[in-house]
Structures are given as structure tokens and as C-alpha cells.
Amino acid sequence: MLKVNVEYINPFVKASKSVLKTAVNLDIDIGKIYLKTSPYPSNTIAIIIGFMGQIKGQAIISMEKDIAIKIASTMMGTKIEKLDELSKSAITEVTNMILGNAATILDDQGINIEITPPSLLMGENMEVSTPKMK
């Protein structure tokens, strides 16, 4: 079984909880954390952000459409009914904030990474393939 150093995982968990609480006023509970192998089944929305530096990889944040609408509504300060380009931008900005926050936490631990701009994918029953990555 492949083991991943928790000092790499915990910053992403901590950043997710912090950003979702402060930026979107959304308290989340962290379930069991585990590694997945490719392909990854995704809910209706997946945002992918790459990172490179001392550690390399991708973070894939997947959510249902109703959660994305709730996040976008809060970020935009108005109730939205469907995801348009502006609301999609709000969702990708939240994920960008999460990864930026994780990068800062890692940097404080002496692990330097840079993040790529986020890419948003939408569709029903998607699978995201990232060969040779977990």
C-alpha cells in the first residue's frame, strides 16, 4: 500500500476547512481521508489545480451542483439559480484560495510549491483520469 506523508495532506485539509469557513461561511466535516487511484469518479463539477515545486501533483475538488451554487451565491453576495460564467469564476476562485492557503502552510513547513490556474469541468457521471497519480 502506498503511503503519503501526512505533512503533505494536512495542509490541504486545513486550508479547505479554513477557506470554506471564512470565505463561504460553510462548516465542513472531514470524513475518512484515503488515497484514490485513477480514474476518479466525480460529481457534477470538478475543479483541478496543479502544483509543482518540491512536491508535484494535482488537487481535484469535486462537488455536486447544488453545493457549487451555494458557494457561488455566497461569494457573489446574491442568490443564483444556475451556474453561468461569473458564478463558475467564483467557484474556481474559492478553490484557488484553498490551494493558495495550502501552499502558504507548506511554505511555512519549508516545502515550496507553486500552483497553476484552476480548470473547471462540468458534466454528469464524469471520470477524471490522472495516470500514475494518486
Instruction: Give the Å distances, CA to CA, from 38 to 35, 47, 128.
Output: 10, 16, 7
> Are 59 and 48 spatial neighbours (Cβ–Cβ below 8 Å)?
yes
In the block, residue with C-alpha cell 484560495: 97
C-alpha to C-alpha distance for 79 and 35, rounded to whole angstroms: 35
Greatest Cα pair distance, the chain, in angstroms, is: 46
The pLDDT of residue 68: 93
In tens, the pLDDT along 56-95 reads 888 888 888 999 999 999 999 999 999 999 999 999 999 9
The pLDDT of residue 134: 57
The pLDDT of residue 132: 65
The pLDDT of residue 2: 44
C-alpha to C-alpha distance for 76 and 70, rounded to whole angstroms: 10
Regions in the chain scoring below 70 on pLDDT: 1-4, 34-35, 43, 131-134
